[in-house]
Amino acid sequence: MTNRKNFIKTTTLASAAILLSAFKSKADKIDPKKITGKPIVISTWDFGLQANEAAWQVLKDNGRALDSVEAGVKITEADPTNQSVGYGGRPDRDGRVTLDACIMDEFFNIGSVACLEHIMHPISVARLVMEKTPHVMLVGDGALQFALNNGFMKENLLTDESQREWKDWLTESQYNPVINIENHDTIGMLAMDASGNLSGACTTSGLAYKMHGRVGDSPIIGAGLYVDNEIGAATATGIGEEVIRIVGSHLVVELMRQGKSPQKACEEAVLRIVKLINLRKKDLKDYQVGFLALNIKGETGAYSIQKGFNYAKYNADGNKLFDAESFVK
């Protein structure tokens, strides 16, 4: 009986503590009205500047972060001069342009497509997967069929320029897939709208001259992109295999949950990748990965293995390009 009494006493006290902490964490939650840094949009690489412009058009009119990131990365997807995303992207080693993309909103809704061919805007197909299907990811022919059934047009995405480069590559490559830190780059975009809600999008043609069917980190929720509306969001660029290995973007968000700033969270994720590259006795100079993060206060962070990673930030101060700090100085 005494034991039972003690048990009831202890569990009652424990429940009270849980209730109190739930109350406390609610009280600690940031009031969106008090966030001064919003709206804001950030995106990877210098082509992010142009993409940010389109995203900002949505944000400045009190639009939703989700609409802004989709509108933003569509600019990069449609740009034939950008050879690492969408139309004009470098093909795989069989000469096929295969695209990866994903999108995530403030309600943990997610949608993704991988190894999608012939569609100019994989990000919009990913959004449709999210909004119109009970699934979260479609790949290859299934993704193409779904896109065509929903009114997307079948197009040739291989530009003359990318085709010529691929043919040159074939003469020397002996058809070996390569990991090259210079011939790829993804657009990852994170936005917080005027209501304080977060969303993200990530889209790429992936590693140039990859094996046909290779999927990188960019369409994988948690690897190439992650959004938690109470904490922050993160996205990645660089060699997808390394990002997947540590589930990079999710890791960055979890590190922010533990109290790290976006900058420190990106640094720690990069350090983890560096550690695993060393553990596997690979040469660090062959690897580039960059993380970009935004927290719910509107603070940002970016960090990469090698020098050269940059990102574009558009907020009330305008649209500007920043160089990220890197592990290798």
Q: How far is the CB of 60 from ligand ASP (least distance, A)?
A: 28
Q: How far is the CB of 258 from ligand ASP (least distance, A)?
A: 25
Q: Measured in Å, how far apart are the chain's first and last C-alpha atoms?
A: 67
39 versus 238: smaller Cβ distance to ligand ASP: 238
139 versus 148: smaller Cβ distance to ligand ASP: 139
* 8 Å CB contact between 188 and 224: yes
Residue 248 makes contact with ligand ASP by CB under 6 A: no
Q: Which residue is it, tokens 């900058």?
A: 263
Marked catalytic residue, from 44, 76, 98, 186 = 186
Distances 271 to 4, 254, 264, 280, 321 between C-alpha atoms, Å:
50, 15, 10, 14, 24
**Cα three-residue angle 169-171-172, rounded to 5 degrees:** 70
Residue 93 makes contact with ligand ASP by CB under 6 A: no
Site string for ligand ASP, 250-269 (x = CB under 6 A): --------------------
Residue 240 makes contact with ligand ASP by CB under 6 A: yes
Chain positions 198 to 237 lying near ligand ASP, rule: CB under 6 A, are 204, 206-207, 216-218, 237
User: What tokens were used for 324?
Assistant: 């990220």
77 versus 217: smaller Cβ distance to ligand ASP: 217
Q: Give the pairing type, strands 110-116 and 40-44.
A: unpaired
Non-local CB neighbours of 267 within 8 Å, separated by 6+ positions: 301, 303, 325
State yes or no: is 186 an active-site residue: yes
Three-state DSSP state, 33: helix
204 versus 229: smaller Cβ distance to ligand ASP: 204
Interface residues with ligand ASP (CB under 6 A) are 184-186, 204, 206-207, 216-218, 237-240
Catalytic residues: 186
